Structure 1
């Protein structure tokens, strides 16, 4: 990963640390410095950095350890790796559950399958039973489909979720329908999750030493 004085400025380096960097670049006679090499140089300058850091107004850079930690963290910042535009976009993608895939298409197909299975499992677990009362308190239960069946002949309804064990009994058709609609909202939430599903792509610097995950666009 290349660095330059402007690079460090744009990454938010404090003024005191910038003075140290300026001396390093001038002593090396370069305008760009390899990050890994520069980090090793910094490690050899701990005493000087400690003196300069003590004058820093930035509490994160007020010690040599804080300054070195800031420098170390640059390797994990996408904007640092992408700064010069020479980063490498790898054919490695990651879905929100941490699974990696060797193409965008594979990642997208994986997401479609897992969310599709989640929706199917949720829908299959939910059922409404229409209840008819008989003599002596007897009850006849029948699985009904609110969107297709005529529910006006039933005396009560029992909504059941076999996954959670949740039951809701009511003699009101309106209440049964409202409760079912509320629970069906979970499927809408899954649809929203599908639309917002995040797929990341791994990028590395031009040397291939440092890699980060960034959200894939497009």
Structure 2
């Protein structure tokens, strides 16, 4: 990963550290510095860095360790890896469940499949049976939809509560309606989770040493002053 003085400025380096970097670049007689090489060079300047950092007065950057931590974190910032535009967008995509895919289409298909499975499991778990008693006390069960069916003709209602693992029985139609409504909220949550699901693509720097995962539909974040 390449660096330059403008790179560090745009990444939001503090003024004290920037002054040190100016000296390092000047003494080396270069306008660009390899990140890994520069980081090792900074490690060999700890005593001088400690003196310069103490004079900065900036919280978090008033110690050499604070400066080094900021520099270390650069390797995990997408905007740093992508700064010069020579990064590589790999054909490797990651869904939120940690699965890796070779194409964006495969990743999205995987997400569609897993959320469809969640809906199927949910549908199986929210079945409500309406119960009718005959004159001899025998029961007839019928799957009902409280959102659409007339429940007035049923004597009881039975469903499996997936949250407790137990069957629930009630003679109250209101209880059945309430259970159905709560299950609809779960379905809404599954739908919301699918809409928010991110597919990330692996981005590597031109050297192939440093990599980050970046939302496939996102651009690099704007550098922030630290």
Residue 139 (structure 2) aligns with: 140
Residue 158 (structure 1) aligns with: 158
> What is the TM-score of this pair, normalised by structure 2?
0.87
CA distance in 2, matches of 1:38, 1:196: 39
CA distance in 1, matches of 2:28, 2:17: 17
The unaligned stretches of length 5 or more in structure 1 are: none
- Cα RMSD (Å): 2.1
CA distance in 1, matches of 2:199, 2:5: 33
Are 1:203 and 1:212, in contact at CA under 8 Å, matched by a contact in 2? yes
1:61-100 deviation digits (Å, cap 9, x = unpaired)? 2211221111111101111111112211011111111111
The unaligned stretches of length 5 or more in structure 2 are: 219-226
1:114-143 deviation digits (Å, cap 9, x = unpaired)? 11111101111222121224558x451403
Instruction: List 4+ stretches of structure 1 deviating above 6 A.
Output: none
Residue 51 (structure 1) aligns with: 51
Shift of 1:173: 2.8
Matching of residues 1-218 of structure 1 within 5 Å: 1-134=1-134, 138=137, 140-146=139-145, 151-162=151-162, 164-217=164-217
Are 1:5 and 1:21, in contact at CA under 8 Å, matched by a contact in 2? yes
> What is the TM-score of this pair, normalised by structure 1?
0.90
Shift of 1:110: 1.0
CA distance in 2, matches of 1:58, 1:140: 77
Q: Higher relative contact order by CA 8 Å / sep ≥ 6: 1 or 2?
A: 2
1:93-112 deviation digits (Å, cap 9, x = unpaired)? 11111111111111111111
